[in-house]
Amino acid sequence: MFLIIGLGNPGLKYKKTRHNAGFLAVDFVVEKLLGKKAKWNKSKKAKTEYIWSKINNTEVEFLKPQTFMNNSGEAVKTIINYYKIETKNIIVIYDEFDLPFGKIRVRQNGSSAGHNGIKSIIQHLGTDNFWRMRIGVSNPEYSGQKKIPTDLIKLHNGASKFILKKFSRQEQKELNEKIFPEVIEKIQEIIK
């Protein structure tokens, strides 16, 4: 069984923000696999929304922690303990400020690189041995560059304000037509 986790913050205020790229990606994947009528279940005990499916004949539980980003590890640990899922079968999808908009990077382990959601998961699981799929959310005017200019990320407050901004209509279109379909392909590759 695989656990596919989208990171984000609950509530309408954050719904289409850059920081919720993980929630948006998982919603897209579920809709494409199960259809628009797929209903998310809620677990107050686990502090999460979840939905079960199959990809390539493999059981998959999709998860959207409702603990806010900084405490994502709480919900993840509860679900892992319940299903006895190996950490190598966990895929976490989340926003990455240091990547150009739309760029996707996948790796199996490593540090949190300052991302509080990943930091919380590592802390609660006691390991960094799980898959990460980072979706670049940086300003589109820098998307052609390999590295975001340092003047854009000088102040942590500036980054915080930027990732809590909503995606533009054009960016949402790109997410749905190009970026999130690529997320589905990468999930399928990992499961295979």
Domains of the chain (ranges plus CATH)? 2-191 (3.40.50.1470)
% the chain with pLDDT above 70: 89
Per-residue pLDDT band for 13 (boundaries 50, 70, 90) equals very high
The count of C-alpha atoms lying within 13 angstroms of the C-alpha of 116, restricted to the half-sphere facing its C-beta, is 12
Q: Is 19 tagged catalytic?
A: yes
Q: Per-residue pLDDT for 160 more than 80? A: no
Q: What is the pLDDT of residue 55?
A: 85
Q: What is the pLDDT of residue 147?
A: 53
Q: Per-residue pLDDT for 181 more than 60? A: yes
Q: What is the pLDDT of residue 4?
A: 97
pLDDT, the chain, mean: 89
Per-residue pLDDT band for 103 (boundaries 50, 70, 90) equals very high
Q: What is the pLDDT of residue 143?
A: 44
Give dist(CA 108, CA 50) in Å, integer. 23
Q: What is the pLDDT of residue 98?
A: 84
Q: Per-residue pLDDT for 171 more than 70? A: yes
115-135 pLDDT, tens digit per residue, is 999 999 999 999 999 999 999
Q: What is the pLDDT of residue 36?
A: 87
Q: What is the pLDDT of residue 164?
A: 87
Q: Which residues of 72-102 are buried (b: 16+ CB within 10 A; e: fewer)?
A: bbbbbbbbbeeeebebebbbbbbbbbbbbbb
Q: What is the pLDDT of residue 1?
A: 94
Select which of 19, 115, 124, 156 is catalytic: 19
What one-letter code names the amino acid at 93? Answer: I
Q: Per-residue pLDDT for 151 more than 60? A: no
How far are the Cα atoms of 86, 123, 150 from residue 82, in angstroms, in the given order?
Answer: 11, 18, 43
Q: Please report where in the chains the tokens 């997320």 appear, as a residue.
A: 183
Q: Closest Cα partner for 85 from 148, 57, 23, 127?
A: 127
42-66 pLDDT, tens digit per residue, is 999 999 999 999 888 999 999 999 9
What one-character DSSP code corresponds to residue 88?
G
